[in-house]
A and B are shown apart, each in its own frame.
Chain A
Amino acid sequence: MLKLLLAPFRNTTGIARWILITGLVITAMFVIFAIFAPWIAPYGFAQKIDASGDRFPKMGEPSAAHWFGTNDQFYDILSRVIWGARTELTVVLLSVLLAVVIGVPLGLLSGFLGGWVDRALVFVMDALYAFPSLLLAIVFAFLLQARLGGAGILAAALSLTAIYIPQYFRVVRSTTVSAREETYVEAARAIGAKPRTIMGKYLFGNVIQSVPVIGTLNAADAISTLAALGFVGLGIQPTEAAEWGYDLSRALDDAAAGIWWTTLFPGLAIVLLVTGLTLIGEGLNETVNPALRKRRIRKVVLTRGSVTEPERPGTDQNEVVTP
């Protein structure tokens, strides 16, 4: 298991490896923020009064008590940036998992069965895919808010799920369609395997490989989209959880007045997290995608022993590797 997880590191070299490591470090920082927010953040995300009962300043400049300043709702910005990591990562994890859980089986089924089911699903998915993704998320968030009265973390995650399902569906379906004709699937059919067994045991493992790459890239995109929903006023309410996009929408009216700290810090958090996740996705892509991969080629060391007496103990066979 550990070997499998570390495989991307061993197989990459140079820039690709640095991209992956940088991405992991940045993302890990936010994961730590998310998990330990109550201990790291100086105040609560909806706290307006300090321990001695004094109200926080309104739009206070960065100071010793409030490193990143406070906003127009008296909230401490540093605390909201740290708590925000928890919100963003929860929503993104939920939405990407939901999209995988729905999109992958649908794609598998559609590609394996073919026929009218396949055609109908492709039709709908293509239509959803062609639609501007932000608008789709806005429509879903609007529906969930207006009709079902929900504007919480789950509602936000569901609106994002809708825009990512078609991506998994398309990728998984197309790999299934090509894998369906492979010899090993034919062999499985020949020994009388049921369709369920073929899909579950033979196709699933082959089809699932590109999912982690799309997953991390989607996660990056989901952060931006969630922030955009918050900015437009369809995201999570400020007392429910800290959300960076909402905080930026609060900064809108004061930006022209030169109040920079309400804008700078939440935005910086978005940029960093999105960049971190994108870099992981790019790094993974270069290792998983054979067309982009540059494998580390070990130097060919020809020791005298290995040439004349190949079986002599002490010679490391692994050192002679033909690329």
Chain B
Amino acid sequence: MSSQGSVPRYVAQRLLLVIPMIWVLLTVVFVLLRVAPGDPISASLGGKLSAEALADAKHRAGLDRPLIVQYFDYIKDVATLNFGNTFTDNRPIIDVVRDNGGATLSLTVGAFLIALLVGIPLGLLAGRRRDTVSDVVIRIFGVVSYAAPIFWTGLLMVILVAPTGWPTYDIASAETKFLVEPRTHILIVDTVLAGNTDAFLDVLQHHVLPCVALGLLLSGVFIRLVRVNLLQSLKGDYVEAARARGVPEKYVIRRHAFRNALVPVITVVGLQVALTLGGAVLTEKTFNWPGLGNQLVKYIVAHDYSAVQGLVTFFAIVVVVVSVLVDIVNALIDPRVRY
């Protein structure tokens, strides 16, 4: 067992796969954004500049060179974490990532926590009481929470909550943003580091609605998954064996079935990173959240090609890295995964 299923070997294998995966994604991004007809400079600045100024801008951005040279430069730049500059306000993309990434991170982490807190208990309950009223109600909730567009649930929450004076837009009040010194660029962490309780509570309050909106979307996935897994593990031989030994049903479910039903949840957390990123873009737009998704939408509307390419590249890398990390954690927990 131990010789063929060693953890370090599996981890090394997965880590080695990161590079080709990222390379393929980068190539796809490049082909999509550069090889398609037309040119990005005229698309984003066309009409505002004279012909000479356009040519000059193209030259400065290196767009007048052969595509293959641009491709290698792009790969080289990304390898050194240089995602280029935006056209419209000429900021390095990495600065955008630094300034706005923290808000996206705290939003998605909060949403995941809520999704787990809601999804796992409901999924277990539905699985345990299969085909009863509570199962049907929970399943309908799962389908609807997945079917409801996140910006719609978000807007409904705003309509319901706004009259109470609870914060519905942005990550913090202007005062908090002004007072707290950015150290980690994750505002909620910065307020803790600054030891400012009022600011922390302010930021926390602002997190509630966006995190719940995104969390409900994700919880639908967890409900379905946990329910099906519990149904499957309840059919397992070890559950039958436990029952045959006379273990009370309560313990059979708690100790034998639940635990095994929860293992695949970790894998799914990894698979949901893509869904979460998409959801985060929409959540941020809904709540005017100062995250990366909102920046992406802003640059899209401005037709800022370079910014879109840089941000999409960054998202692609995040997806690959997180999925590999999840695989590794999964291998540490579940011995069946290693090979």
Q: Do A and B come from one complex?
A: yes
Interface of chain A: mostly helix, strand, loop or mixed:
helix
B residues with a Cβ closer than 8 A to A are 21, 24-25, 27-29, 32-33, 36-38, 40, 43-44, 131, 136, 143-144, 146-149, 151-152, 155-156, 158-159, 162-163, 168-169, 273-275, 277-279, 281-282, 285-286, 296-297, 300-301, 303, 305, 308, 312, 315-316, 319-320, 323
How far apart sit A131 and B303, CA to CA, in the bound complex (Å)?
21
Please name all residues of chain A whose beta carbon is closer than 8 Å to the beta carbon of B159 when the two chains form the complex: 255-256, 258-260, 263
Please name all residues of chain B whose beta carbon is closer than 8 Å to the beta carbon of A259 when the two chains form the complex: 159
Contact (Cβ within 8 A) B38 A232: no
> Is A168 an interface residue when CB atoms closer than 8 A count as contact?
no
* Besides the known contacts A233-B297, A270-B152, 11 further A-B residue pairs in the complex with CB atoms under 8 A apart: A15-B131, A139-B33, A143-B32, A146-B303, A255-B162, A256-B159, A259-B159, A266-B152, A267-B152, A271-B152, A278-B143
How far apart sit A138 and B27, CA to CA, in the bound complex (Å)?
18
Contact (Cβ within 8 A) A127 B277: no
Contact (Cβ within 8 A) A279 B143: yes
Given A128-B28, A275-B143, CB of A264 within 8 Å of CB of B156 = yes
A residues with a Cβ closer than 8 A to B are 15, 123-124, 126-128, 130-135, 138-140, 142-143, 146-148, 220, 224, 227-228, 231-234, 245, 248-249, 251-252, 255-260, 263-264, 266-267, 270-271, 274-275, 278-279
Please name all residues of chain A whose beta carbon is closer than 8 Å to the beta carbon of B305 when the two chains form the complex: 146
Contact (Cβ within 8 A) A267 B281: no
Contact (Cβ within 8 A) B24 A127: yes
How far apart sit A35 and B274, CA to CA, in the bound complex (Å)?
35
How far apart sit A82 and B301, CA to CA, in the bound complex (Å)?
28
Please name all residues of chain B whose beta carbon is closer than 8 Å to the beta carbon of A252 when the two chains form the complex: 151, 155, 285-286
7 smallest CB-CB distances across A and B, nearest first, come from A134-B278, A267-B152, A147-B38, A274-B147, A132-B274, A127-B24, A146-B43
Please name all residues of chain A whose beta carbon is closer than 8 Å to the beta carbon of B25 when the two chains form the complex: 127, 130-131
Pick 25 A–B contacts, CB within 8 A, sort by A. A127-B21, A127-B27, A130-B320, A131-B274, A132-B277, A134-B279, A134-B281, A139-B32, A139-B33, A140-B32, A146-B305, A228-B149, A231-B285, A232-B285, A233-B297, A255-B162, A258-B163, A259-B159, A267-B149, A267-B152, A271-B147, A275-B143, A275-B144, A275-B147, A278-B146
How far apart sit A130 and B20, CA to CA, in the bound complex (Å)?
13
**Smallest Cβ-Cβ distance to B161: which chain A residue:** A256
Q: How far is the CB of A120 from chain B (nearest CB, A)?
A: 11
Contact (Cβ within 8 A) A224 B147: yes
Q: How far is the CB of B300 from chain A (nearest CB, A)?
A: 5
**Smallest Cβ-Cβ distance to B318: which chain A residue:** A132
Please name all residues of chain B whose beta carbon is closer than 8 Å to the beta carbon of A142 when the two chains form the complex: 300, 308
Among A130, A147, A263, point to the contact of B274 (Cβ < 8 A). Answer: A130
Please name all residues of chain A whose beta carbon is closer than 8 Å to the beta carbon of B273 when the two chains form the complex: 132
Q: How far is the CB of A287 from chain B (nearest CB, A)?
A: 18
How far apart sit A107 and B38, CA to CA, in the bound complex (Å)?
31
Among B27, B149, B156, point to the contact of A227 (Cβ < 8 A). Answer: B149
Contact (Cβ within 8 A) A139 B308: yes
Among B27, B275, B303, B319, point to the contact of A130 (Cβ < 8 A). Answer: B319
Please name all residues of chain B whose beta carbon is closer than 8 Å to the beta carbon of A257 when the two chains form the complex: 162
